[in-house]
Amino acid sequence: MKIRRVGVGSFAEHYYSAKEMYDLLDKAGFIDIEIFRCSFAHFNLAGPLFMIAKKVESFIEDNIPYLAYNLIASGKKPD
């Protein structure tokens, strides 16, 4: 596997906290809101990428927590 370079761009992204996600869904009228966290290395990655992610996972979780987890939000819109 050849990786020529890895880059990080600034795209004016905003990483939402669990509370911010909850508040957004609540304000939009959703009920039964649930927020889950899934470590990024446990996301569906191809084999070699998964192994690399597992190796750097603890460093990222300790030092860059907003990048470490995928937030999964769910809710129901009342009829």
pLDDT band per the 50, 70, 90 thresholds, residue 48: confident
| Pair of tokens at residue 55 | 């190796």
d(CA 29, CA 37): 22
Domain residue ranges of the chain, discontinuous segments joined by +: 18-76
d(CA 43, CA 24): 24
What pLDDT shows up at residue 41? 57
What's the mean pLDDT when you consider all of the chain?
Answer: 76
pLDDT band per the 50, 70, 90 thresholds, residue 55: confident
Q: What percent of the chain is modeled with pLDDT above 70?
A: 67
| DSSP structural state of residue 40 | G
Question: Residue 15 belongs to what H/E stretch?
Answer: none
Q: Is the pLDDT of residue 37 over 90?
A: no
Angle at 53 (CA atoms; ends 10, 55), nearest 5 degrees: 125
